[in-house]
Amino acid sequence: MSILIKGVELFGEATDILIDGAFIKQVEKDIKAEADTVIDGRRKAVIPGLVNTHTHAAMTLFRGYGDDMALMPWLEEKIWPNEAKLTADDVYWGAKLACLEMIKSGTTAFYDMYHKLPATARAVEEMGIRALLSSACFDHFNTEEAEIGKAHVKKLYAESTNYSSRVKYAIGPHAIYTVSGPLLQWIDAFSKEHNIPIQIHLAETKGEVADSVNQFGLTPVRYLYRLGILSHRLSIAHGVYVDEEEIQMLADSGTQVVHNPASNMKLGSGVEFKFAEMFKAGITVGIGTDGCSSSNNLDMVEAMKLASLLGKGWRRNPEVLTADEIFHAATASGADILGIHAGHIEAGYLADLCLIDLNLPAFTPNHNFVSNLVYAANGSCVDTVICDGKILMQNKKIPGEEEIMAEAAQRAYLLIKN
């Protein structure tokens, strides 16, 4: 399938874009080529698809449930008891709702950590989006549970060969307070053997840091360093509480970090995320929304604004975290974390891109498109989404979206009621 986008704005310049199959074939003015589909790009701007580098997709079912609580009571009293009741069909519809929401707000790829991974994979395959999926892994420092966890990792990895090229497998050890050191080391070895990415929640709260020092004698990043599992295959979600030496450890090992501004603020976890220091040290920093129960939406356009304003605010410095830097984190850096050849509008890159509606107050006047996108707009500005060379949304409509919302809502109500 081929798509030709005519007269679209690419960072202020009108151009044409030719897509052939899953890749961008040509980007230049006045392309003379036949295509199966022609899209009028006038009064629209094109951007790479946004990449959400940390979320829990099916937690859309818990949106608005258990709000205004601290992290651990929220997990222990509201989330974990209800997650124990989830069926595969619940996860499928919750993930399908998440894919719908992400597509409608311009996300074409995401990094997920959740339960019942095959159900999420099924939703991703059907919705046409791209994902790196991990199953949350726990052993609670119990050797029997650790063996069960290892078997589950092996099983999911074997099954992942059945997925399309848009769906990849990762390992998701939940956190250092729910996963033992020996299991973390086994996961790292399995990851290295099979070249599988790993993502873990780390250094999210002051309480976690204090508990790590009490239990292991080290802060979280130093603990992972001692275990020997910091590597380019690892990304840490949150990373709020890290010092200069730990930042250098992360940089030297190639470990990546995902900033989740909405959930960090809403859960009161912390605001002093050291984006500028990490960026200067050469760490790849992505942006995530976290799950809908802790950030309430999956809008990466909104997440960009929150990340920039939060960084400026706690530093009392308006010159840090520019719109361009944040946009790069949400696109090219995110693609690097997921290991996909995307994040740029250039020939040879994956055809994962979005068209932005410029006929909106947020883009009037349009002195600086990236600034308007980051600081003035939200996900509703997205008009068209293309992923893997296929049109997933056009004129802000996705086929079957009403059914998805209705079924997911009904399942969410029944889940909480029971």
Helix ranges (H only) for 361-400 are 369-371
Bridge partners of 175?
Answer: 201
SS3 label, residue 301: helix
Predicted confidence at residue 416, as pLDDT, reads: 86
Buried b / exposed e over 230-239, threshold 16 CB at 10 Å, is bbebbbbbbb
256 φ, ψ (degrees, to nearest 5): -100, 160
SS (H, E, C) 157-181: HHHHHHCCCCEEEEEEECECCCCCH
Contacts of 381 (CB under 8 A, 6+ apart): 106, 301, 356, 357, 360, 362, 363, 373
Amino acid making up residue 254: G
Give residue-wise pLDDT tens across range 73-103. 888 888 888 889 999 999 999 999 999 999 9
Predicted confidence at residue 418, as pLDDT, reads: 72
Predicted confidence at residue 274, as pLDDT, reads: 97
SS3 label, residue 2: strand
Helix (H) or strand (E) segment spanning residue 141: none
Tell me how far apart the alpha carbons of residues 208 and 326 are, in angstroms, rounded to a whole number: 27
Triad 398, 403, 407: Cα angle to 5°: 135
Please, where in the chain does CATH 2.30.40.10 lie?
A: 2-48+349-401
Predicted confidence at residue 308, as pLDDT, reads: 97
SS3 label, residue 11: coil
SS3 label, residue 131: strand
Angle between helices 220-227 and 206-216 (to 10 degrees): 40
Domain 2-48+349-401, CATH number (from 3.30.950.10, 3.40.718.10, 2.30.40.10, 3.40.80.10): 2.30.40.10
Give residue-wise pLDDT tens across range 252-300. 999 999 999 999 999 999 999 999 999 999 999 999 999 998 999 999 9
Q: Which has the closest alpha carbon to 220: 73, 276, 207? A: 207
Q: Is the Cβ–Cβ distance between 351 and 378 less than 8 Å?
A: no
Predicted confidence at residue 257, as pLDDT, reads: 98
Predicted confidence at residue 74, as pLDDT, reads: 82
Q: Which two tokens stand for residue 303?
A: 């997440």
Domain 50-338, CATH number (from 3.10.300.10, 3.30.70.20, 3.20.20.140, 3.30.56.10): 3.20.20.140
Gyration radius (Cα) of the chain, Å: 21
Bridge partners of 172?
Answer: 136
Please, where in the chain does CATH 3.20.20.140 lie?
A: 50-338
Predicted confidence at residue 78, as pLDDT, reads: 84
Q: Which has the closest alpha carbon to 179: 243, 117, 134, 120? A: 134
**Mean pLDDT for each 10-residue chunk of the chain (418 residues)?**
97 96 97 96 98 97 89 85 92 98 98 97 98 95 98 97 97 98 98 98 97 98 98 98 98 98 94 96 98 95 97 95 97 98 98 98 98 98 98 97 97 88
